[in-house]
Chain A
């Protein structure tokens, strides 16, 4: 146990996800020994990010203005909306360079056991956006786990009467893997979602 501000720094760092007491101590001592400008810059960025970053009013992604870069971009297609759980998922899909439409960030997935129901997610906002006649397709890209699939089921049931094409990301074998090591559930999904090649 250290005294004063150094212990406060260790305690605060220890509150961060994935940072245990030992790691917090190591980071704290690194910052003490590092260049003073580096620590100052870190403090400034932390303050700045809390002041400037907010959530896009349209899609819920992180933004520095009323709308995020993707919603503001006139080159993006307005015909399709990709629904994801978190802002991190937007970045993962953007890295593929395959999708040119807009996003909608739900802010999580339905998990009754954690007390999270449909009303706790940005589903009402999604339904409001779908009133735009330009939107022709909703791509549900929630995580391929139980909560993500349940959220997709709920969204499909809710959006189907709106007459918009609803699609779900395919799931199956990871690229670069060996078939023999795939578990039976993933392999079963790959069979279900197989496509005709000729």
Chain B
């Protein structure tokens, strides 16, 4: 039976039978993996705690007919314990792993893997406000998936910004002349914040006003829902500061 080994982050777990779980992981080199972890719900399980959501692990699997089976697990990063200390961070982390599950497939995507691990580490370490980390993660994950938004030049005539309208379908700001019906109004502060979150300019992002943060979160949520079919179940539960 072929064995393989990869680094992975646990996205989701589902109960299976008496004491097993189906674990969905985003691996570094093999993309998404769905595997059965046998007996992990028993209190005496040797690696049940290592296969909880948000754990980063080095795992060995053997290929099964429909689902693979987790054979061995070693911890690389344990972020769940620190994340659940803050309920807002927990809800943000849920939205992140759900987005990662929807934006990735069985194809290898080391960039998505590294982005998610970095975002979870940042949440666990309380490096920034959890809401900002979530928004930054979603913008960058969408960009890696091929839906990079633009907050600088007009998408149609390429006029230099700042512009005061954002078109969800296009994923870009537009100038007053090119503005279509249904474009969302966006302030310069919000536009700057979104650009900073996309590029990882945390010094600028941290100085944004509450109003700009709230407006940016709304745009990121709507933009994510637009591109991720059926939307994210966890988004309505995200607790924003």
- Taking a contact as CB atoms under 8 Å apart, the answer to whether A146 and B233 are in contact is no
- Indicate if A157 sits at the interface (CB-CB under 8 A): yes
Note all chain B residues with C-beta closer than 8 A to A149.
80-81, 84
The docked-state distance in angstroms from the alpha carbon of A122 to that of B18 is 26
- Indicate if A70 sits at the interface (CB-CB under 8 A): no
- Taking a contact as CB atoms under 8 Å apart, the answer to whether A112 and B237 are in contact is yes
Note all chain B residues with C-beta closer than 8 A to A154.
87
> Which of B12, B81, B85, B237 contacts A185 (CB under 8 A)?
B81
Which residues 155-183 of A have a CB within 8 angstroms of B? Answer: 157, 174, 177, 181, 183
- Taking a contact as CB atoms under 8 Å apart, the answer to whether B50 and A183 are in contact is yes
The docked-state distance in angstroms from the alpha carbon of A129 to that of B85 is 26
- Indicate if B188 sits at the interface (CB-CB under 8 A): no
* Stretch of A1-9, A33-41, A99-107, A113-121 with 4 or more beta carbons under 8 angstroms from chain B: A113-121
- Indicate if A68 sits at the interface (CB-CB under 8 A): no
Number of B residues near A (Cβ < 8 Å) is 32
- Indicate if A150 sits at the interface (CB-CB under 8 A): yes
- Indicate if B151 sits at the interface (CB-CB under 8 A): no
One digit per residue, 1 when the CB lies within 8 angstroms of any chain A CB and 0 when it does not, for chain B 5-42 equals 00000001000011000000000000000000000000
- Taking a contact as CB atoms under 8 Å apart, the answer to whether B90 and A150 are in contact is yes
**Closest CB in chain A relative to B113 CB, distance in Å:** 18
- Taking a contact as CB atoms under 8 Å apart, the answer to whether B84 and A150 are in contact is yes
The docked-state distance in angstroms from the alpha carbon of A75 to that of B53 is 41
The docked-state distance in angstroms from the alpha carbon of A60 to that of B44 is 29
Contacts A18-B18, A183-B50, A185-B75: A153 and B87 contacting too (C-beta < 8 A)?
A: yes
Note all chain A residues with C-beta closer than 8 A to B50.
183, 185
- Taking a contact as CB atoms under 8 Å apart, the answer to whether A112 and B52 are in contact is no
Q: How many cross-chain pairs have Cβ atoms below 8 Å apart between A and B?
A: 62
- Indicate if A77 sits at the interface (CB-CB under 8 A): no
Contacts A18-B17, A112-B237, A114-B233: A183 and B87 contacting too (C-beta < 8 A)?
A: no
- Taking a contact as CB atoms under 8 Å apart, the answer to whether A146 and B87 are in contact is no
The docked-state distance in angstroms from the alpha carbon of A153 to that of B236 is 19
- Taking a contact as CB atoms under 8 Å apart, the answer to whether A177 and B233 are in contact is no
- Taking a contact as CB atoms under 8 Å apart, the answer to whether A150 and B49 are in contact is no
Number of A residues near B (Cβ < 8 Å) is 21
Contacts A112-B234, A181-B46: A153 and B90 contacting too (C-beta < 8 A)?
A: yes
Note all chain A residues with C-beta closer than 8 A to B142.
none
Contacts A18-B17, A146-B53, A146-B80: A115 and B234 contacting too (C-beta < 8 A)?
A: yes
* Stretch of B94-102, B201-209, B219-227 with 4 or more beta carbons under 8 angstroms from chain A: B94-102
> Which of B44, B46, B95 contacts A112 (CB under 8 A)?
B95
Note all chain B residues with C-beta closer than 8 A to A69.
none
Q: Which residue of B lies closest to A111 (CB)?
A: B94
- Taking a contact as CB atoms under 8 Å apart, the answer to whether B237 and A146 are in contact is no
Which residues 28-79 of B have a CB within 8 angstroms of A? Answer: 43-44, 46-50, 52-54, 75, 78
**Closest CB in chain B relative to A144 CB, distance in Å:** 8
The docked-state distance in angstroms from the alpha carbon of A127 to that of B87 is 19
Note all chain A residues with C-beta closer than 8 A to B91.
112
- Indicate if B238 sits at the interface (CB-CB under 8 A): yes
- Taking a contact as CB atoms under 8 Å apart, the answer to whether B49 and A183 are in contact is yes
- Taking a contact as CB atoms under 8 Å apart, the answer to whether A184 and B75 are in contact is yes
- Indicate if A145 sits at the interface (CB-CB under 8 A): yes
Note all chain B residues with C-beta closer than 8 A to A185.
49-50, 75, 78, 81
Note all chain B residues with C-beta closer than 8 A to A153.
84-87, 90
Contacts A113-B12, A115-B234, A153-B87: A146 and B75 contacting too (C-beta < 8 A)?
A: no
- Taking a contact as CB atoms under 8 Å apart, the answer to whether B234 and A113 are in contact is yes
Residues on B facing A (Cβ under 8 Å): 12, 17-18, 43-44, 46-50, 52-54, 75, 78, 80-81, 84-87, 90-91, 94-95, 97-98, 233-234, 236-238
Residues on A facing B (Cβ under 8 Å): 18, 111-115, 117, 145-146, 149-150, 153-154, 157, 174, 177, 181, 183-186
What are 14 A-B residue pairs whose CB atoms fall within 8 Å in the complex? A112-B95, A112-B233, A113-B98, A113-B234, A114-B233, A117-B237, A145-B52, A146-B84, A149-B84, A174-B44, A183-B47, A183-B50, A185-B50, A186-B49
